[in-house]
Every structure is written in C-alpha cells, then in structure tokens.
A and B are shown apart, each in its own frame.
Chain A
Amino acid sequence: DQQVKQNSPSLSVQEGRISILNCDYTNSMFDYFLWYKKYPAEGPTFLISISSIKDKNEDGRFTVFLNKSAKHLSLHIVPSQPGDSAVYFCAASARLSSGSARQLTFGSGTQLTVLP
C-alpha cells in the first residue's frame, strides 16, 4: 500500500502559466515533506521542503502548500519555464521507530512538460 501517492503520471502546461503538482499521503507520522526534481539520466535533486508545522513555503518560483487535515500537499511553479520539464517526486519523512533514523518515502512521480 503506497503511503505517498502522486495520482497524475503526467502534466502539460504552457510556458508562463502555473504548474500545480499534487501529492497525497496516508501516514500521520510523516512530519516533513520534500519535492525532488529529476532529469533523464540524472539523480533526483532537492527542490523545496516543508515542515508539518507550516502550511506554506516559498522559494522563488516554487511554492509548496501543505494541508494536514486532508493529508495533501501541492507544488506550484509560476511562471512555468521549458527548463522545468522533468519528473517531480514528492517525498515524505518520518522518524523511524528504531532510534533517530529517518526514512524518505517517495511517490511515483509526475512528468511535467512545459510547452514553449
């Protein structure tokens, strides 16, 4: 059973418009959420994160929103640029029961295509 779900495998938007990528989670123990961006033949790179004590975090064109009651987070990119075309992974972090170890659980990813 997937604890982190990205229900949209792909998304296409026009350059300059807003891209909204969604992510849902089921585990209430998750207390930190991250978005990673991945280009073909490269490893994922960290994009932006949010703690569960916040509902919004902004970094330039990227904003992440967290709705804890709905167990939902979203990544907004505005304005979208062709260079943003990549796979975006949502990840959630929880402290493991064994000591202080933390584990990242990833969603299945959303392929974003920004059309020029």
Chain B
Amino acid sequence: NAGVTQTPKFRVLKTGQSMTLLCAQDMNHEYMYWYRQDPGMGLRLIHYSVGEGTTAKGEVPDGYNVSRLKKQNFLLGLESAAPSQTSVYFCASKRLIETEAFFGQGTRLTVV
C-alpha cells in the first residue's frame, strides 16, 4: 500500500516554463489537497478537491491550476513558473468522514 505518491521529487525550472506535479493516492480517499511549505510560513493550501471532477481554491491559488479527472489523481500545474513559486509542495488526501490527512513525501521545486 503506497499511500500518497508525488512525482517528481525534485525539479528545477526556468522562469516562464510550465510543469505539472502529479499526486496519486491508492486509499480511495475523497478529498485531495495541494500545499506549499515555505520557511516560517508552515503549510499553505493552494487548491483542493472534494471529489472527482471538482476543485476549489485554497489560501494561495494564484499562478496554479489543478485537475482531478480521476479520483486517485490530483494534478497541480504551473503555466508560467516564477521564482516566487520556489517551494516544497505537498499533496495530501483524506477520507470524507475523517479529519486526519495523509501526506506525500513532497516535491522540491526551484524556479531560477
């Protein structure tokens, strides 16, 4: 049972490039989330999804887009990367009736 898996683990982008981060969970969880972690800021919610085909904005959504075409996958896209998007990105998922969320191992993204 892999839990929550993020791909890739590391990436360096040039300003203006685009990329997609993939999150996959095998626990049949309804909810999925994308967070970013920055020094002194904790984890901040970017976007989330309460089910297949539905997404919503979190605290810091600007510059990101998401899609959830399949229940097990939640994609985070950067259309035109900026240095301010240098961060560690975490995906999480949880069941509808529970409060505890399970996290992936993170993706370290550097935009130069």
Partner-B contacts on A (CB < 8 A): 2, 4, 6, 9, 32, 34, 36, 41-46, 49, 89, 93, 98-109
A89 with B43: CB separation less than 8 A = yes
| Residue among A49, A101, A102, A106 making CB contact with B43, cutoff 8 Å | A106
B45 with A104: CB separation less than 8 A = yes
**A102 to B: closest C-beta gap in Å:** 7
B56 with A108: CB separation less than 8 A = no
Chain B residues, Cβ within 8 Å of A102: 31, 99
How big is chain B's contact interface, by range?
Answer: 20 to 34
| Residue among A36, A45, A103, A108 making CB contact with B41, cutoff 8 Å | A108
B50 within 8 A of A: yes
Closest 9 CB pairs of A and B: A43-B103, A108-B42, A106-B43, A106-B42, A32-B99, A46-B100, A44-B103, A43-B105, A101-B50
Complex CA distance for A45 and B56, rounded to whole angstroms? 24
Complex CA distance for A104 and B96, rounded to whole angstroms? 13
Partner-A contacts on B (CB < 8 A): 4, 31, 33, 35, 40-45, 48, 50, 56, 58, 90, 92, 96, 99-106
Q: A43-B90, A108-B41, A109-B42 are in contact. Are A103 and B103 (CB under 8 A)?
A: no
A46 with B101: CB separation less than 8 A = yes
**A101 to B: closest C-beta gap in Å:** 5
B4 with A43: CB separation less than 8 A = yes
Would you call the interface of chain B mostly helix, strand, loop, or mixed? strand
A101 with B56: CB separation less than 8 A = yes
A9 with B48: CB separation less than 8 A = no
B48 with A43: CB separation less than 8 A = no
**B45 to A: closest C-beta gap in Å:** 6
